[in-house]
Amino acid sequence: MTTALASAAPIALQLIDVPTPYLVTDLTVVAGRYVQFLCAMPGVRVHYAMKCNSSPEILRTLAAAGSAFEISSIAELRMLQVHGVDPADVLYSHPIKAPGMIAAAWKAGVRRFGFDSPGELAKIAENAPDSAVYVRLRVDDTTSVFPAGNTFGTDNDEAYDLMLLARRMGLQPYGVTFHVGSQCQSTGAWRSAIRQAGELMDRLRDEGIELEMLDLGGGFPAHYVAGDPSIEQLGQVVAEEIALLPYRPALVTAEPGRFLVAEASVLAAKVIGRELRGEEHWLYLEVGAYHGLMESLQSPGGWDYPMSSSLPDHDAQPTLPFTIAGPSGHATDVVGYAIPLPAGLTVGDVLYFGSAGAYTLAYASNFNGFAPPTPVFVGG
C-alpha cells in the first residue's frame, strides 16, 4: 500500500481475507512518516501523541524506530510500559489530571508534567514533588479543523506568574508548550505560537529561569482530500522561528499524532442499505460515526476522507451525490452529505475510506450492538 491508499484500495484490499468492516494499517507507512518528520525537522524530538491511535502494533513500531511518547492518562503509560518504554522519557502533557494519576505516573518514573493553572500546579506539587513542569500557552488555533478554543492553555502574563509560582512550590520550571489545533492548515499558526513562547522565555530569563524544553505540541496535518501544508513547509517555518528565539532550549520536541498514522490506514465497510428519500440518495454502511468515523460529526460540513469502492473502474463510473449513514438507529449517525460516488453502488458493495488511521478505533464504540472495525496490520 502507498500513501494514496484510497485509490489503491480496491485491488490491494480485496486480497485481505477478513470480513468487513475492518481497518487495515500498513506499519511501514507509520515508520516512514516518522522518518519523514525527523528529516523535515532536524533536531526536534518526537513524542508521539498516542491518544489518536494506541494500537500495540503502532506503539511497538514507533518505539522501535526511536520515538518517545506523550500520554494523557495512566492507562496510556501502562500500555507503553508493556513495550519497554522508559517512563522517564514520557511527557504527561494533559493540562488537567486526576491527583491519583499524577501520583501513579510519578511513582512509575514520569518526571515531566504539563499544566496551565494554579490548581494543577498544586496537584503536581503534592503528588509529584520536585518534578519538572511545562506551561501550556493558549495560542491562535482558528486555522485548524479541530480547534481547542478556551478548553486549555493560558496567556503569557499568567504563564509567567505560574512559572514563578512553580519555583516557589519546589517544582522545576522546565518548559513551555502550546497546541495550534488538530489538523492545522496554516504555517502561520506555528510561527506566531513559537514567537509567543519566545516572549515568555525572554521574560523568565530576567527572573533567572532558562527553560530547558520547547514543546511544539501537535496539529501537524495529514493528507486527506484538501491540500494542507506539507511537513517540509512546516519544518522550514519552525527552523526559522527557533533561530529567532532568545536562546535555544536544550530540548525541542513535538507531539505529532495524526501525521504519523492517519495515511497508513484504510477503513473498509460494506453497504447494508440504499434508499431514495425524496430526491436524496442514501447509503447505509455497517460502520458509522459511532463505530469509527466520529470525526465526521466533529468537523463543520463533514470530514473529507479520500474514498473508493469495490466497483471495477471506480473512478470512471458516473456518480451521484450520496448521504452516507451508519448502521445505528440514531439520527445523528451520518458520516457525510452530497458525497460523489458511483451511481451503481448497492447492497453488498464495499466503500473504502482512506487516511483513516487517526481517531477511528480510538473513538469507536459498540453503540447499538454494532462492533467497531476489526484491526488488521500489514508490513512492519
Q: Supply angle C-alpha 136, 142, 143, rounded to 5.
A: 110
What does R_g of the chain's alpha carbons equal in angstroms?
A: 22
Give this prediction's pTM.
Answer: 0.94
As a whole number, the mean pLDDT across the chain is 92
Whether the per-residue pLDDT at 143 is higher than 60: the answer is: yes
Supply the pLDDT for residue 214: 98
- Residues 98, 122: contact at Cβ < 8 Å? no
Q: What is the pLDDT of residues 86-140, one digit of tens each?
A: 999 999 999 999 999 999 999 999 999 999 999 999 999 999 999 999 999 999 8
Supply the pLDDT for residue 182: 86
Q: What is the DSSP letter of 153?
A: -
d(CA 202, CA 328): 54
In angstroms, what CA-CA distances link 50 with 19, 63, 298, 355? 27, 12, 20, 17
Q: What is the pLDDT of residues 293-306, one digit of tens each?
A: 988 887 766 668 88
Residue type, 191: R
Whether the per-residue pLDDT at 156 is higher than 60: the answer is: yes
Average pLDDT over residues 233-259: 97
Q: Supply angle C-alpha 97, 62, 86, rounded to 5.
A: 55
- Confidence category of residue 11, pLDDT binned at 50, 70, 90: low
For residues 16, 20, 22, 28, the Cα torsion angle rounded to the nearest 10 degrees is 20
Neighbouring C-beta atoms of residue 228, cutoff 10 Å: 19
Whether the per-residue pLDDT at 37 is higher than 60: the answer is: yes
- Residues 170, 213: contact at Cβ < 8 Å? no
φ/ψ (deg, to 5) at 336: -175, 160
Supply the pLDDT for residue 297: 80
Supply the pLDDT for residue 211: 98
Q: For 54-58, 150-154, 212-216, which range has the lowest pLDDT when averaged over its residues?
A: 150-154
Q: Supply angle C-alpha 98, 99, 101, rounded to 5.
A: 65
Which segments of the chain does DSSP mark as H helices, in order? 5-13, 27-40, 56-65, 74-82, 99-108, 118-127, 156-168, 187-205, 231-242, 258-261, 295-298
Domains of the chain as residue ranges with CATH = 54-256 (3.20.20.10), 263-378 (2.40.37.10)
Q: What is the pLDDT of residues 357-376, one digit of tens each?
A: 999 999 999 999 999 999 99
- Residues 142, 179: contact at Cβ < 8 Å? no
Residue type, 6: A
Supply the pLDDT for residue 5: 46
Supply the pLDDT for residue 4: 43
Whether the per-residue pLDDT at 186 is higher than 70: the answer is: yes
Cell reading at 94: 494533559
Q: What is the pLDDT of residues 40-85, one digit of tens each?
A: 999 999 999 999 999 999 999 999 999 999 999 999 999 999 999 9
- Confidence category of residue 320, pLDDT binned at 50, 70, 90: very high
Task: Please spell the DSSP secondary structure of 288-340, one letter per residue.
Answer: -GGGT-THHHHSTT-----EEESSTTGGGS-EEEEEEE-SSS-TT-EEEEEEE
d(CA 131, CA 92): 11
Supply the pLDDT for residue 191: 96
Whether the per-residue pLDDT at 258 is higher than 60: the answer is: yes
The b-or-e profile of 98-120 (16+ CB within 10 A means b, else e) is: eeebbbbbbeeebbbbbbbbeeb
φ/ψ (deg, to 5) at 285: -110, 165
Average pLDDT over residues 279-286: 97
Whether the per-residue pLDDT at 153 is higher than 80: the answer is: yes
Burial of 313 (0-12, 13-18, 19+ CB in 10 A): exposed
Supply the pLDDT for residue 14: 67
Supply the pLDDT for residue 130: 97
Higher-scoring residue by pLDDT: 325, 304: 325
- Grid cell 463533514 is found at 302
Supply the pLDDT for residue 3: 44
Residue type, 180: V
Measured in whole angstroms, the distance separating CA 243 from the mean position of its chain's CA atoms is 27
